[in-house]
Every structure is written in C-alpha cells, then in structure tokens.
Amino acid sequence: MTEWSSALVDTPTILTGDFNVAPLESDVWNRKALLDVVSHTPIEVETLARLQAASNWVDLGRHFVEAPTPLFTWWSYRAKDWEASNRGRRLDHMWVTPDLLPKALSHRIVQPARSWERPSDHIPLITEFAL
C-alpha cells in the first residue's frame, strides 16, 4: 500500500476506512496499557506513519480535532458501559492527498451511533467536501 501511495503524484485521492491502527497517544484511552495490544503497537504505528508519509496524506480527523484532544471511533463490545469507561481507540480514518485539503470543509464522528440498537463497535465518520 505504501508503494501504491507513493505513486499517487498529482492524483487527488481520498483514503478512508477501518485502518485498525490508532497512531497517536491521544487516539487511545491509555497508551501505556495498549503498547502491546493490537492496533497501537510500535510496529503498527511506524508502518502507518510510513504509509502516511508516502503521499503526504492529511489525516482529516487530526486536522479538524487537533491532538492531544482525545478522538475515538471504536469502543469494545465487551464494555458494558462503554460511554462511562470511555476506553476507546481511533481506528477509523479519513485521509486526503494535500491537494484536497482546501476542499475539506468539516469532519466529525457520530458517537451517538454507538448507542443505537444493534450498533457496530465502530462509529461513522462524516466529512463534508466542496468538490
């Protein structure tokens, strides 16, 4: 994917989905507790950083909600009261090539969706573009 990404010169591109990696300390509820847990290990974080650098991807989540503000898109099904414990991770991402950044008007997560009847453990991301 990094190789594919580096070939995107002059190709406006949006990359979105469940990357299953929470790259920043503020993207997990407890960095120290999760360093050896899938989704926040050093090798995963370093690999995702290489992918991001390959095409100078802009992480819209962190463009609109700057670190160190916590930002989560996933909470385990195992948590009976997921909202109170707030042991989340930011596993879902919306990235754009730099040429699309001026067209990104807003980005938000839909946290209330996690409380819907029969919810996913992931919540939707909504980004508005002026294309």
Domains contained in the chain, number: 1
Does residue 121 contact residue 76 with C-beta atoms inside 8 Å? yes
CATH of the domain at 106: 3.60.10.10
Pick from 2, 23, 8: which is nearest to 100 by CA?
8
The pLDDT tens digits for 83-127 are 999 999 999 999 999 999 999 999 999 999 999 999 999 999 999
The pLDDT tens digits for 31-66 are 999 999 999 999 999 999 999 999 999 999 999 999
Residue 10 to residue 97: CA distance in whole angstroms: 9
Query: Which domain range does residue 44 map to?
Result: 2-129
Half-sphere exposure of 103 (CA within 13 A, CB side): 12
pTM over 0.75: yes
Of the chain, the percentage scoring pLDDT greater than 90 comes to 94
Burial class (CB in 10 A: 0-12, 13-18, 19+), 130: exposed
